[in-house]
Structure 1
Amino acid sequence: MKKAAGVIHKSQQEIMNSWEEAVNAEIEESPISSKLALRNQLPHVLEDVAKIMNRYDDFEQVKKNENYEEIINNSIAHGRHRASTPKYTVKRILQEYIIFHRTLTHFLQKHDAYTTEVGILLKYTLETAMLSSAASFTDSLQEMRNKLVGTLAHDVRNPMMAAYLATEMMNHEDGEEKLKKLQKLSLRSLKKSLDLMEGLLDAMSVKAGEGITLDFTETNLMQDVEWVYSEASEIYSNEIQLNTSSHEIHGVFDGTAVRRILENLVSNAVKHGRRNSPVTINVKDSTEKVRINVHNLGNPIPLDKQEGIFRFLNTSKQEKSGRLKSWGMGLTLIKTVAEAHGGNVELESNKAEGTTFTIILDKNKNRPGKIRSRLNFSEN
């Protein structure tokens, strides 16, 4: 088997080229166009196969070791990557490995390096890889659905509670003006709940690479910003400040989604900021883009954790614990919504100046209508 290991080691690029050609030819409408994205972790799986072959001398040794730890981690990473790729399914992953197995077998036969023992080892290792990737793909999708549903359900609860409290506080003895104010608050909160409920139901049908559905319309975005400002001013004890150069910013936006991400940012600013210090919303309009930032004073987010705070399916134990975890999945959805608007999210956080999250949105990137957003997974 050492001969086969040597052939694989010397010819990795040629093997991967042959595999890639076969995948593009046999898997109809292969959804990945980038060579690097298509190959992903499979070159590492190929290296693992060569290492395992180099370690065993005969079939009896192979039979005693049916679990190959080297290959499992890279196979799991491969499955997680495919879960973030639009239109991918378990069937596609299994097809990739079947083609991988066949390509490798033909290559070793061509170079007179294929034996019965080599064939059995390939079967055992690649079956392990297939099972690991398929399980990882399925687990990642389920984790994604659970997190989306959990986040949306949490967001639905707040306006429903606000509507309930407003209704409970209604008393005809308080006068018509107060009743109208409470009625307006209740109706506004119920409408918001219905909008969010649609997203909650939609999240249950998420497929590979997909996030929430966004509904773009031509709108004045400042109406949504001022809504968040007004509601936050009523809810929080912190002073909420709004600074803007314009009260009309027209473009194609999903106003409900923008309200949600601003609410998340303001909520986090109050939660993690200095007690009773102001939370500031700044809006800056330009020809093509709009910048909205939310600033608070208080303990900063450590520099080495700032990138990881936006990751979705992060496997780092360090980033799953402590203060970073408490920011919740909301920041991932903020990044998702910003990118769906053709923009991005920026973060500046230090002890002297506090923490500022900036959302940049392209005003005319999208046409009116519904689209599925993309979710970016972390890859470790």
Structure 2
Amino acid sequence: MRLAAEIIKQNSNRIMDDWERAVKLEIEASNISSLAVRNQLPNLLDDISEIMTRYDDFKGIHKHEEYREIMKNSLDHGRHRATSSHYTVKQILKEYVVFHRVLTEILIEHSVYTKEVGIILKYTLENAMLNSASSFSDSLQEMREKLVGTLAHDIRTPISTAYFALDILHHGDSEERFQNLKNMGMKSLEKSLELLEGLLDAISVQAGEGITLNFEEIDLVKELKWVYKEASQIFTNEIGFKCDSEKITGIFDGTAVRRVIENLVTNAVKYGSHSTPVTIMVEDKDDHVIIKVHNYGKPIARKNQSEIFKFLNRARSVQTGNLESWGMGLTLVKSVAQAHGGKVGLESDEEHGTTFSISLGKKSNSPGKIRAELNYSEN
């Protein structure tokens, strides 16, 4: 048993290379980066080797600390695959089947494969398979629920705005006021219908997928000014708007961008100081646009800043403070930014306050619909 463990340690790089090569050939959905494909399996390999080093037979393995670590790694593996496009439970199980096959072939090649070694591999990998498959299914269901919940929550804002516009509308109002309130109500109801379409779409989301985006050539400033005006009417905080261009034309999903900025403004009001302004800032660059939302108040701890945009961050850290209360919204912010060929950023400290930023490529997409991805990576 110890000799088998030593062979695994000595050939760990070869095992992972052979496994990755086979997975990419046999599993269509594994067409992602090498680092992402490997994920938690190198840790699983180390744990199997450690168990074989400590035990000469099967007895007592289920009580071993390293065995529990294998379970954790397999749970993380399943959650990771839920954020990788087009994966299925069948493909996750196939990964472990290939892993088992590669391990067995190398151990046989070095004449160290015995009945006891086979039992250890079978027991650990079968349980890892069950945990990964269960974690994958649970994570996918959680993702659907969070997407639906976020979209349903977002629908409340435009409906409330439309109700507000109708409620304060009176027969004696001037023509200008009548038209302004009418336009506010109509625009809000149009947005509600767009969000409702997204809500229905989210129910059918698959692994690694986010909302469907509809790209078209628009003036982004017009969309952002609408968010600013609506926020100014809804919130008690002073809302500021700064833009260095009167018009910014590009291929964007206007509805998605509005939702992103509404989400950031709402968070700024909710988690920031209630007595200081929330400011939307827009910078027009050559091939992209940078949008920032700034507020003062309690900063986000530096140790949490890299976690806050991640999907299902509860699996990454139990002690995340109030990160979970930010919900799915910031994951969608990142998803929308990346779908536009951009990225997200966060700066937060006591002195300067908190600034969330997103960059959007002006011509990163062609007009039409695409399904955004929920990216698990650090970038």
State the TM-score, normalized to the length of structure 2: 0.92
* Structure 2 CA distance for partners of 1:294 and 1:74, relative to 1, 3 Å: same
How far the C-alpha of 1:200 sits from its partner, in A, is 0.9
- The 10-residue stretch of structure 1 (133-142 or 231-240) with the greater mean CA deviation from structure 2: 231-240
* Structure 2 CA distance for partners of 1:114 and 1:289, relative to 1, 3 Å: same
* Structure 2 CA distance for partners of 1:362 and 1:119, relative to 1, 3 Å: same
Partner of 2:336: 337
Partner of 1:318: 319
* Structure 2 CA distance for partners of 1:61 and 1:345, relative to 1, 3 Å: closer
How far the C-alpha of 1:262 sits from its partner, in A, is 1.0
C-alpha deviations, 1:178-206, integer Å up to 9, x for none?
Answer: 44433322211111100111111111111
- For the pair 1:122 / 2:121, whether they are aligned, the reply is yes
* Structure 2 CA distance for partners of 1:343 and 1:62, relative to 1, 3 Å: closer
Partner of 2:370: 371
Retained in 2: the 8 A contact 1:68–1:128? no
Partner of 2:26: 26
- For 2:55, the aligned partner's letter is Y
Any residues of structure 2 matched to 1:1-380 within 5 Å, and which? 1-27=1-27, 29-61=28-60, 68-174=67-173, 177-314=176-313, 315=315, 316-319=317-320, 321-322=321-322, 324-377=323-376
C-alpha deviations, 1:118-164, integer Å up to 9, x for none?
Answer: 21221111101100111111111111111111111100112112223
C-alpha deviations, 1:46-76, integer Å up to 9, x for none?
Answer: 11111222222234555998x9313111111
| In structure 2, distance between residues paired with 1:15 and 1:364 | 43
- The 10-residue stretch of structure 1 (268-277 or 227-236) with the greater mean CA deviation from structure 2: 268-277
* Structure 2 CA distance for partners of 1:257 and 1:108, relative to 1, 3 Å: same
C-alpha deviations, 1:3-30, integer Å up to 9, x for none?
Answer: 2112212211222222223223333x35
- For 2:11, the aligned partner's letter is S
- For 1:317, the aligned partner's letter is V
- For 1:341, the aligned partner's letter is H
| In structure 1, distance between residues paired with 2:129 and 2:25 | 20
Q: Where do 5+ consecutive residues of structure 1 fail to align?
A: none
* Structure 2 CA distance for partners of 1:305 and 1:70, relative to 1, 3 Å: closer
| In structure 1, distance between residues paired with 2:306 and 2:236 | 30
Retained in 2: the 8 A contact 1:344–1:360? yes
Retained in 1: the 8 A contact 2:24–2:30? no
| In structure 1, distance between residues paired with 2:79 and 2:291 | 32
Retained in 1: the 8 A contact 2:24–2:31? no
Retained in 1: the 8 A contact 2:210–2:373? yes
What's the secondary structure of 2:138's corresponding residue?
A: helix
| In structure 2, distance between residues paired with 1:154 and 1:189 | 14
C-alpha deviations, 1:310-337, integer Å up to 9, x for none?
Answer: 1221121221x33x33333222211111
| In structure 2, distance between residues paired with 1:32 and 1:12 | 22
* Structure 2 CA distance for partners of 1:15 and 1:99, relative to 1, 3 Å: same
How far the C-alpha of 1:211 sits from its partner, in A, is 1.0
Retained in 1: the 8 A contact 2:71–2:131? yes
- For 1:352, the aligned partner's letter is E
| In structure 2, distance between residues paired with 1:33 and 1:170 | 54
* Structure 2 CA distance for partners of 1:64 and 1:351, relative to 1, 3 Å: closer
For the aligned residue pairs, the C-alpha RMSD in angstroms reads: 2.2
* Structure 2 CA distance for partners of 1:285 and 1:42, relative to 1, 3 Å: same
- For 2:319, the aligned partner's letter is Q
State the TM-score, normalized to the length of structure 1: 0.92
- The 10-residue stretch of structure 1 (102-111 or 124-133) with the greater mean CA deviation from structure 2: 102-111
| In structure 2, distance between residues paired with 1:26 and 1:308 | 33
Q: Where do 5+ consecutive residues of structure 2 fail to align?
A: none
What's the secondary structure of 1:294's corresponding residue?
A: strand
| In structure 2, distance between residues paired with 1:250 and 1:266 | 23
* Structure 2 CA distance for partners of 1:203 and 1:61, relative to 1, 3 Å: same
